[in-house]
Amino acid sequence: MDASRESGLEPGQEPLPDTAVPAVGRRPLWCRRCRRPLTDRVSRMYGLGPECRGPGPRVRSPCSEVEQETLPEP
């Protein structure tokens, strides 16, 4: 049987945040910082594992100015 049918979801449907979905029916998610698989509900909700969302130095991506064309006058 298809994994989406086992979880009670139609293909392309996402589960509600407060509902428990069997591991078979969940699509895999990975931590945005360390790329490890996320397993618990809170980690999946934030997109970060417990180690990466804990206290510690925050890593920021380098910022640079973006060149844009000026908008035409109306």
Q: What is the pTM of this model?
A: 0.41
Residue 1 confidence (pLDDT): 44
Give 53-62 pLDDT, tens digit per residue. 877 666 555 5
Q: What is the mean pLDDT of residues 45-72?
A: 77
What mean pLDDT comes out for the span 31-43?
A: 88
Q: Is residue 46 part of a domain?
A: yes
Q: Answer whether residue 19 is part of any domain.
A: no
**Domain range spanning residue 31?**
27-52
- Give the helix ranges, DSSP H, for 1-74: 3-6, 41-46, 50-53
Residue 35: partners with Cβ closer than 8 Å, 6 or more residues away: none
CB atoms under 10 Å from CB of 8, counted, come to: 12
pLDDT in tens, 9-29: 666 666 556 555 455 667 889
Q: Tokens 């920021």 correspond to what residue?
A: 60
pLDDT of residue 57: 63
Would residue 68 count as lying in a domain? no
**Total structural domains in the chain?**
1
CB 59 within 8 A of CB 42: no
In a domain, 43, yes or no: yes
Q: Is 48 a domain residue? A: yes
